[in-house]
Amino acid sequence: MPAEPRVILETKRLRLREMTVEDLDFISTLLSDPLVMRFYLATLSRDESAAWIKDRISQYESHGYSLWLVQLRATGEPVGQVGLVPQIIDGVDKPEVGYMIRSDQWRQGYAAEAAMGVIYYARTTLDMRRLVSLVRPENVPSQEMAKGLGMSIEGQTDHAGLRHDIYVIEL
């Protein structure tokens, strides 16, 4: 029997834990949802979602963080992935606050609650002083989210072949 995944943090309603290969069904559904992925290059297949999980596990090992699975504390039901993503932006390694919630769970405040927990964790546990968030200029909901987290726009960059605004927060 596999070990229980490591819990990173809990908020009032949510638990964030490391992803495992056993999360493939949920992650595949999340990453294949055209609504969730509308600001990305494309939706991901099941095989691509499996690779996505393996990349997260590799980042846990190499950086100590990545995107974490977000579950409802009351039921254990997965609702998304939120965390810190190691990014190379204009040649510099920068931790990014990333958030992605199931489309049928939007407007519940889960992304904001989880991201605020992640920001607190980054400051208090990882001793980070600055975080970024890459947001496509046309992604108004994510822009509002970043602003709600206390982030402000610092500039723009090309990332994964797409133009992104760079939001920052000093911790």
Q: pLDDT tens for residues 98-114? A: 999 999 999 999 999 99
pLDDT value at position 160?
A: 86
Q: Provide the CB-side half-sphere exposure for 165 (13 A, CA).
A: 18
Domain 7-128 of CATH type 3.40.630.30: yes
Q: What average pLDDT does the segment 85-89 reach?
A: 94
Q: Of 24-28, 31-35, 57-61, 159-163, give the lowest mean pLDDT range.
A: 159-163
The number of helices, as runs of H, and strands, as runs of E, in the chain is 4, 8
Whether 2 has a pLDDT exceeding 70, the answer reads no
Q: Are 64 and 55 in contact (CB under 8 A)?
A: no
Whole-angstrom Cα distance, residue 106 to residue 119? 20
Whether 3 has a pLDDT exceeding 80, the answer reads no
DSSP state of 104: G
